[in-house]
Amino acid sequence: MAGAVTDAETTSFLSRAYREHGARIHAALVRRVHDLELAEDALQDASVAALEQWKDERPRDPAAWLVRAAFHKAVDRIRRSRLDATKRAEIEALEEAFDPELSFDPLAEDDRLRLMFLCCHPALPFESQVALTLRTVSCLTTVEIARAFMLPEATMAQRLVRAKQKIRDARIPFRTPDLDETGERIDAVLAVVYLVFGEGYAATGGAALVRDDLCTEALRLARLLVDLVPSSGPAAGLRALLLLTDARRAARVDPAGDLVLLEDQDRSLWNREATARGLAEVERAIHLGPSRHPYTLQAAIAALHARAPSPAETDWRQIVSLYGLLREASPSPVVDMNHAVAVAMVDGARSGLALLDAIGAEGELDGEHLFHAARADLLRREGNLAEARQAYERAAARATNEPERRFLARRIRELG
């Protein structure tokens, strides 16, 4: 290496290696040491060593270097902490299994999938699955994850530690599930990715409506899953849904940071490339099947919006029938609500309101600002301004993020 390398350059070289290969590095290590916490600690040791040694010479394959170094640090850690005979045997077995020529082969790709299945194992609480996936597969820091979910860092750290301990103590395996359980297990991984995106796209709290970091991460995870399990229709469906929804990101917030509804969005701001990829992915999802999987149905609905050059040209009839299928595939009051809104676009606000009021009578959505906002909107279109105002006020009282509150306040002002 010619010339001196600054610390800053080395640091950025290291963080680029993590950004590009983090999931593979974690996965390769976990396969070898069977302990997420140990893998993480050892990786930290290896990073410290990298910052020192890479100043003189940078490795050609930094990811493989890190895995190798971290593996030896892990063995050191075991050696230092436990010294009884069984542990010594464990170390010997580990060292024997270690391949010094280690680099990333096609098999290592499977490791990332195993890592995702491990993080989203049904024996872990759902919230821990989400945190662990972001920590281990996405390589976000504990601080970043805590911030994303508006939780104190200590709480998030403890959640991660408990999950890693359960994996180790109950011996949750690092493996690809059997064929007969693959569908169910993929659904669990998809649910985590869906939640990460949902939290990014409509942040439940804070100053910003959209949290780009989480949206981007969810898209990366969805892409990874599609690459790793190309035969999965639901994975393609989820990726399509995220691409098509995310394509509208720039149009969804105005320059002041305020919310812009779908019907008012400047469609020229929609990301054409992402839309095109999303539309192709929907086709693939339908082709792979099941075509009535909830993610594929939601993606098909998003595709109809994406194909409409203007709100007036939207195929609402088709959207109503897709919501009908979605109500069967994954019944929930939120789906009922979206169905009611679509019905209002086809049969008029009055029909939509009748459906919304029936849902409202069940009471499950009373805490949801979106329900009251949808109702307010239909009341306004009906010309029932007094009730519309009340409904907007109920929505405003329940909204938790700033842009949504401002949007609702503006609607109330507009009603006079």
The CA distance from 344 to 331, in Å, is 19
- What's the closest the beta carbon of residue 188 comes to other proteins, in angstroms? 13
Radius of gyration of the chain (CA): 25
Residue numbers at the binding site for other proteins (CB under 8 A): 121, 123, 169-173, 175, 177
* CB atoms near residue 397 (< 10 Å): 11
Show the tokens assigned to 279. Answer: 């539309």
Which residue number, 124 or 301, has a Cβ lying nearer to other proteins? 124
Nearer to other proteins, 189 or 320 (CB): 189
| Identity of the residue, 171 or 413, whose beta carbon is nearer to other proteins in the bound complex | 171
Phi-psi region of 61 (alpha: psi -120 to 50; beta: other; left: phi over 0): beta
**Burial class (CB within 10 angstroms; exposed 0-12, middle 13-18, buried 19+) of 313:** exposed
The per-residue DSSP string of 367-398 comes to T-HHHHHHHHHHHHHHT-HHHHHHHHHHHHHH
Residue given tokens 């659904």 in the structure block: 187
State in angstroms the smallest separation of the CB of 167 from other proteins. 9
User: CA–CA separation, 206 vs 226, rounded Å?
Assistant: 32
Nearest to other proteins of 172, 301 (CB atom):
172
* Residues paired with residue 206 on neighbouring β-strands, in sequence order: 401
Buried b (16+ CB within 10 A) or exposed e, 356-372: beebbeeeebeebbbbb
Q: How far is the CB of 113 from other proteins (least distance, A)?
A: 16
For other proteins, the closer CB: 110 or 364: 110
- The DSSP symbol for 410 reads H
- Of 80 and 171, nearer to other proteins (C-beta) is 171
CB of residue 97 vs other proteins: minimum separation in angstroms? Answer: 16
Smallest gap, in angstroms, from Cβ of residue 84 to other proteins?
Answer: 11
Nearest approach in angstroms of CB 395 to other proteins is 40
Residue number, 173 or 348, with CB nearest to other proteins: 173
| Sequence-distant (≥ 6) Cβ neighbours of residue 165 within 8 angstroms | 37
- Closest distance between other proteins and the C-beta of residue 22, in Å? 25
> 34 or 381, CB closer to other proteins?
34
Write down the least CB distance from residue 32 to other proteins, Å: 16
**How near is the Cβ of 165 to other proteins at its closest, in Å?**
11
Q: How far is the CB of 121 from other proteins (least distance, A)?
A: 8
Q: Show the tokens assigned to 404.
A: 């949504």
Residue 102: helix, strand or coil by DSSP?
A: coil
Burial class, 171, CB count within 10 angstroms (exposed 0-12 / middle 13-18 / buried 19+)? exposed
Q: Helical H runs in 202-315?
A: 212-228, 233-246, 249-252, 272-288, 294-307
Residue 173 or 205: which CB sits closer to other proteins?
A: 173
- Nearer Cβ to other proteins (84/313): 84
Nearest CA to 282 among 331, 234, 323? 234
375 touches 358 (CB < 8 A)? no
